[in-house]
Amino acid sequence: MHFQPMNNSSALNLSPRSFQASSLERLAKASSAHKWILFTAQTHLPDLKDLQSYRVDCEKIIQLRPSIKSSEIEVVTKAITLGNASAIVASGDIDSFARKQLQQLAMQHGCEVFFSTSNTQYLH
């Protein structure tokens, strides 16, 4: 399966085969909503087997295309405010001040933000 480009916050460990169960459980819960799970262009998708083993609805996962005009922070902010995502996975490159701002914004919009701790690519 290929993914085409297109509340609370926490670090999401996306190292191969070392996902934190709680993070995958939270993604599974988010996927039960009638909204999308968005991965920014700067993150890589976890292994499909790991997602499926925690019953994450992979049909609701979208990896965003890189933006020419906007930074990753701006992309996440826009995704949160549009209200069509139950969870957003962003890279760990976002600084702690911006993370706190995104956490607050996400809580206001009923969205969960995760920050990836790995740059390893899983699916091509």
Eight-class DSSP state of 68: S
Q: What is the pLDDT of residue 45?
A: 86
Q: What are phi and psi of 56, to 5 degrees?
A: -75, 130
**For residue 30, what is the enclosing H or E element?**
helix 21-31
Q: What is the pLDDT of residue 118?
A: 62
If one compares 95 and 47, the residue with the highest pLDDT of the two is 95
Task: Please give the mean pLDDT across all residues of the chain.
Answer: 82
What digits encode the pLDDT tens for the residues 15-33?
Answer: 444 446 778 888 999 999 9
Mean pLDDT of 82-111: 95
pLDDT band of residue 12 (cuts 50, 70, 90) is low
List, in order, residues 6 or more apart from 24 with CB less than 8 Å away: 46, 50, 51, 53, 54, 56
**Closest Cα to residue 94, out of 78, 110, 116?**
116
What digits encode the pLDDT tens for the residues 66-79?
Answer: 999 999 999 999 99
Mean pLDDT of 85-92: 95
CATH number attached to the domain at 21-115: 3.40.50.300
Q: Are 114 and 14 in contact (CB under 8 A)?
A: no
